[in-house]
Amino acid sequence: DTEVTQTPKHLVMGMTNKKSLKCEQHMGHRAMYWYKQKAKKPPELMFVYSYEKLSINESVPSRFSPECPNSSLLNLHLHALQPEDSALYLCASSQTAPGLINEKLFFGSGTQLSVL
């Protein structure tokens, strides 16, 4: 199994809603990532978890709250989002901790989020 699975694929939410994005991998990877991608732009790193601990937070607003319940699962909890948060949210994983040289990233298909 070389897949990173993200659910849901599409999500529409209002600014007062609370929702969660889910990411799962069963490759035994110990690093997991959340990226945000606006249309026609490259992905922007949001968070990195290494061995289930948050190792990087790229100054992301607190309305985005990541959680790593175990080594296979990564969640992104959303609350009081703004319309400008509408984007594709991509999850990725890698075998080793970030910063090691020979690290290949495996990406999920993303969740397309629309905030109304």
Partner 1 sequence: KNEVEQSPQNLTAQEGEFITINCSYSVGISALHWLQQHPGGGIVSLFMLSSGKKKHGRLIATINIQEKHSSLHITASHPRDSAVYICAVRGLYGNKLVFGAGTILRVKS
Q: Which residues bind partner 1 (CB under 8 A)?
A: 37, 40-43, 45, 48, 55-56, 88, 90, 92, 98-99, 101-110, 112
CB of 91: closest distance to partner 1 in angstroms? 10
CB of 105 to partner 1, least distance (A): 6
β-bridge mates for residue 48, sequence order: 33, 56
The residue among 27 and 80 lying less far from partner 1, judged by its C-beta, is: 27
Closest approach of partner 1 to the CB of residue 55, in Å: 8
Q: Which one, 8 or 18, has the nearer CB to partner 1?
A: 8
C-alpha span between 81 and 101 (Å, rounded):
36
Q: Which residues pair with 38 in a beta bridge?
A: none
Residue 5 vs 15, nearer CB to partner 1 = 5
Q: Is 89 helix (H, G, I), strand (E, B) or coil?
A: strand
- Beta strand 4-7 with 44-50 is unpaired
Considering the complex, state which of residue 42 and residue 83 has its C-beta at the smaller distance from partner 1.
42
Shortest Cβ 106–partner 1 spacing (Å) = 7
The answer, yes or no, to whether the previous bond of 8 is cis (omega within 30 of 0) is yes
Give the residue from 27, 24, 31, 61 showing the smallest Cα distance to 48: 31
